[in-house]
Structure 1
């Protein structure tokens, strides 16, 4: 049994004891006993008991709830605010042309033209018609300006016009450099008048130049390697010639020695035969 049920049971027993101890009163004519006082006492005691029970249940529920909730995830940081590029001369001129054109268009919706479209209202309520005309012009102007600004932002018109401005200034600078250079007498050829082969060669020139530089580097490496090999071959040839000269000198010495021994060999042969004959005669 929970604490709230035990407390409720104790309060019920106390109410029963109070009801049994309450004095029984009789009516003014000695009829049935009157229970108004007892009912009032029971009602007064039941109200605080109900309040205490509800307070106990609320306290128990609050105690059973977890003491701490997990922290919610932090929200991501806000994106950085878009900063518009500073408009250049062409962008400013473009905006001025739009403003003047819009003003010229809205000036057509003047009072006279508006009154000609609504002659009855112009005759009976000219003030109202003038107010409507003024509100219409202001509304159209604000709407057109808002739409124009939206188009400028979505299409990135200001940045593109600034890029065009830089391209034009770069072209003018190059043209001035060509006019003041050594080739000032020659008139530059417009690119759109060149043949297809020249345009293709101009597009392929950077790639071909890089490939040519790589091939030149490889050629220089091969030529250096060939030069080292040629030096090694010359040294080996010099060594071979030196060895061949030494062999030829040794052969010449052997031939000279054999030429000197020719007469000596014959004499030694004669002497050896004489000695053999003498030994055989003995």
Structure 2
């Protein structure tokens, strides 16, 4: 009887990532906003008008409005495109998840230092510096451990069943020996009874048995 195969445990679900910008996402948005503002400030009216000298000299007010509209539209377009990239690439969620991982690592490090009495914790080796054998064994380890547990459980079940069968066979052998002993005792009693009877009596009994058998046949 084969033992049921064990199912692998379900993977631990990661906590939901908030969509509100965290420290890194907020810093990225501020960095981009500052960079765009600095870039657009370099596009001053004097620089813009120098590219259009004739309209600037004949219609300076219109050129100023055109410059203002151009800068505002360029700033709005850059901001909308950047926000669209953030949504398409899920940048905010990824950076928030990174913040969570860093904070979790910081807490683990602090807990490890407290467990060692405040001593510095040796950081683990970077995965890219490990040999290939260590990397694939680290991935196969949980599977091999699960298979080992399953096989050990099946082996223990088979050993228990074999022990039960051995007990049953031993009990049957003892019962056979008891029956054989009783049969030998009965045969010995019959032999002793035959030896105790005289030969004449044995002949008479034999004749009576034959006669009785003949009567029954007829």
> Is TM (by shorter chain) over 0.5?
yes
Say whether 1:164 aligns with 2:98: yes
What 5-or-longer segments of structure 1 have no aligned partner? 1-83, 266-282
Q: Equivalent residue of 1:87, what SS?
A: coil
Q: Judging changes above 3 Å, is the alpha-carbon distance between structure 1 residues 215 and 110 closer, same or farther for their aligned structure 2 residues?
A: same
Alignment of 1:236-275 (within 5 A): 236-246=172-182
Cα deviation, residue 173, structure 1: 3.5
Q: Which residue of structure 2 lines up, in the alignment, with residue 216 of structure 1?
A: 152
Match of 1:145 among 79, 98, 105: 79
Does the alignment pair 1:86 with 2:20?
yes
1:199 and 2:156 matched? no
Structure 2 counterparts to residues 38-187 of structure 1, below 5 A: 85-181=19-115, 186-187=122-123
Going from structure 1 to structure 2, the CA distance change for 1:142 and 1:167 (only over 3 Å counts) comes to same
Q: Is the 8 A contact 2:24 2:95 kept in 1?
A: yes
Count, aligned residues: 178
What's the CA shift for 1:124?
A: 4.6
The CA RMSD over aligned residues, in Å, is: 3.3
Partners of 2:55 and 2:63 within 8 A in 1? yes
Task: Give the gaps of 5 or more residues in structure 2.
Answer: 1-17, 200-218
Give the drift of 1:244.
Answer: 4.8
Normalising by structure 1, we get a TM-score of 0.52
Contact map agreement 2:21 2:92 (CA 8 A) in 1: yes
| Contact in 1 for aligned 2:36/2:75 (Cα 8 Å) | yes
Indicate if the aligned counterparts of 2:21 and 2:96 stay in contact, CA closer than 8 A. yes
Contact 2:109–2:121 under 8 Å retained in 1: no
Q: Deviation at 1:133?
A: 1.6
Once the two structures are TM-superposed, the CA of residue 189 in structure 1 deviates from its matched residue by 2.1
Counterpart CA distance in 1 for 2:183 and 2:136 is 67
Higher relative contact order (CA 8 A, sep 6+): 2
Superposition TM-score, scaled by structure 2 size: 0.66
Shift of 1:112: 2.9
